[in-house]
Amino acid sequence: MQPSTSSLHKGISTFVPGQQNLLAQDISLPAAVLYQSRIDNNLAWMQGYANQTQVKLAPHGKTTMAPGLFQQQMAAGAWAITLASAPQVQVAYHHGIKRVILANELVGKSNMQMIADLLQDPDFEFYCLTDSAQHAKLLADFFGHVKTPLKVLLEIGVSGGRCGCRTPEQIQQTLDVIHTSEYLQLAGVEFYEGVIHGDNEVTLIKQFVAHMIEQTLTLLAAKAFDTSRVLLTGAGSAWYDLVAESFQQARLPSQIIPVIRPGCYLIHDTGIYQSSQQALKQRSQVACDIKGDLSSALEVWAYVQSIPEPGHAIIGMGKRDTAFDAGLPSPELLVKPGDGIDNVVTLDSQWQLTDIMDQHAYLSFPEGAALKVGDMIAFSTSHPCLTFDKWKQLAVIDDEYQVIDMMRTYF
């Protein structure tokens, strides 16, 4: 008998509703684990922020590539899901997501065909970016050939940054191609402020967003848009307050729909995005006025595999299991096999990972601590995107550590 596909992947092999508990070792470790209550908290907090600043929320799905989480975000009030590639869009569509922003240029015949096929559904609303006459011509030729209308957003960038028109001449050349195409429809302006760096990033980003607003209003006055509803969209996970609050203060005309696209808020972390959120709350009164805050919803649980020296343990978790690009995972909880929820121990800063390899991590801990081989340790992470992409399935638990769902990913 062949095993099911899911049972061949690490983590939770087979989900049995109501019969598995993390503390009882009912799932294989290492395992990536999501706390549903913390996800619910993060959903409510960010949707509350978007509502308070009067912007639409189109969270970036590349963080998790978990359609089950996309569905929760939409149910909580998100306006759309943002994605980064045509295959990602296809995944979202086939899991019921009917409004998508592809925050990227759509390039290549197969990728364009994938989107053209989805656009045969009249209920599917799709936007992609273009930032050059050359790229717009590729889109115009393909979608003209298949006779499928395509909504495009003009991407404007910064010198030394990522994609996006750099000069007024590039903008005009791109617009000229769009306006001469029967099937391309200019539907808005897109930007990404996360590539702006300098001694005073806050000021630089505010100035850039103000320029994007001005550019959009100029195009609106010139009747450059082909749609009655015009998108103005920016914001990653670090500076979304500067974008949203600039949009709100601009008192945009009703034709313009302001959209922000943070993605990491749903999972959050105890590293770079925790630091970003703390900085954000120091500058945003709106964020401070919203009850509570974002909470880290992801942990990687693993066994103590060896204690070859006092104060030095080897953990059965490595680069194949967790992000390490923005800091090593942080030990959070210690559980002795057989102990229940009342005996979960919270670890302090004396417990630290010092190095990580493909399948192992080095843990430094107080020499007098009662740590044994086979004990379980939960680690929080920094940069959730690069932990999620290491797992095809994640266990979802309640606050009693009962496994209540299995979240699949499609990277």
Chain-centre distance for alpha carbon 205: 21
Q: What angle do CA 362, 367, 368 make, to 5 degrees?
A: 140
Q: Name the fold adopted by 98-262.
A: TIM Barrel (3.20.20)
> What is the tens place of the pLDDT at every residue in 323-376?
999 999 999 999 998 887 889 999 999 999 999 999 999 999 998 899 999 999
Cβ neighbours for 111, distance < 8 A, ≥ 6 positions apart:
85, 86, 87
In this prediction the pTM is 0.95
Cβ neighbours for 370, distance < 8 A, ≥ 6 positions apart:
none
> What is the tens place of the pLDDT at every residue in 48-69?
999 999 999 999 999 999 999 9
Q: Kindly give the residue spans of alpha helices, DSSP state H, lying in 222-354.
A: 240-250, 272-283, 285-289
Per the CB < 8 A criterion, the answer to whether 258 and 64 are in contact is: no
Both tokens of residue 367?
Answer: 């020499």
Q: Name the fold adopted by 6-35+294-408.
A: Lyase, Ornithine Decarboxylase; Chain A, domain 1 (2.40.37)
Beta strands 184-190 and 345-346 are unpaired
Question: Of 226, 256, 275, 249, nearest to 382 (Cα)?
Answer: 275
Chain-centre distance for alpha carbon 219: 30
Q: What is the mean pLDDT of residues 230-249?
A: 97
Residue 409 amino acid letter: T
Per the CB < 8 A criterion, the answer to whether 405 and 67 are in contact is: no
Question: Of 267, 255, 202, 242, nearest to 59 (Cα)?
Answer: 267
Both tokens of residue 59?
Answer: 């969270």
pLDDT at position 11 is 82
Segment 180-184 long-range contacts (CB within 8 Å, at least 24 positions apart): 180/140, 181/136, 181/139, 181/140, 181/143, 181/144, 182/144, 183/140, 183/143, 183/144, 183/147, 183/148, 183/149, 183/150, 184/130, 184/136, 184/139, 184/140, 184/143, 184/149, 184/150, 184/152, 184/226
> What is the tens place of the pLDDT at every residue in 2-34?
555 566 788 876 888 889 999 999 999 999 999
Q: How many CB atoms lie within 10 A of CB 166?
A: 15
Per the CB < 8 A criterion, the answer to whether 328 and 380 are in contact is: no
Cβ neighbours for 30, distance < 8 A, ≥ 6 positions apart:
10, 11, 300, 301, 302, 303, 316, 317, 321
Beta strands 99-105 and 125-130 are parallel
> Would the pLDDT of 261 be above 90?
yes
pLDDT at position 83 is 99
Q: What is the mean pLDDT of the chain?
A: 96
> What is the tens place of the pLDDT at every residue in 78-103?
999 999 999 999 999 999 999 999 99
Strands (E), 106-208: 125-130, 150-155, 184-190
More confident position, 11 or 290: 290
Asked whether the CA dihedral 8, 31, 265, 328 is positive or negative, the reply is negative
Q: How many CB atoms lie within 10 A of CB 338?
A: 10
Q: Boundaries of CATH 3.20.20.10 in the chain?
A: 98-262
Both tokens of residue 373?
Answer: 């081989």
> What is the tens place of the pLDDT at every residue in 162-175?
999 999 999 999 99
Per the CB < 8 A criterion, the answer to whether 139 and 115 are in contact is: no
Q: Boundaries of CATH 2.40.37.20 in the chain?
A: 6-35+294-408
| Residue 30, preceding peptide bond in cis (omega within 30° of 0) | yes
**Which residue do the tokens 């229940």 mark?**
340
pLDDT at position 82 is 99
